[in-house]
Amino acid sequence: MHPRRETRAREQLTRLTGDVGGPNCDDDDCPNVYRTKSGSFVIQGDVSDAFSPPEGEGLVEIPERVLREAARALGW
């Protein structure tokens, strides 16, 4: 069962990485972690071909440092 999907503008998400004390990506093309208003996460990263996910899902690969930065931003 998939959660309801809706299209969101990037401006509606809280960016947890890249501009929160970590390395900046001026052109927004680097891996990042975003939080939605409902508390879920949106991950921006390189597309991975580790395996074929079910229809409607995708895989991205992001560096460990980006996840650590997101955890710090959330106070975890």
Does 68 or 10 have the greater pLDDT score?
68
pTM of the model: 0.74
Indicate whether 40 pLDDT > 70: yes
Percent of the chain scoring above 90 in pLDDT: 62
User: What's the rounded Cα separation, in Å, for the pair 25 and 19?
Assistant: 8
Residue 70 has a pLDDT of: 94
User: What's the rounded Cα separation, in Å, for the pair 17 and 26?
Assistant: 12
User: What's the rounded Cα separation, in Å, for the pair 19 and 50?
Assistant: 29
Indicate whether 4 pLDDT > 70: no
- 25, with CB counted inside 10 A (0-12, 13-18, 19+), is middle
Percent of the chain scoring above 70 in pLDDT: 76
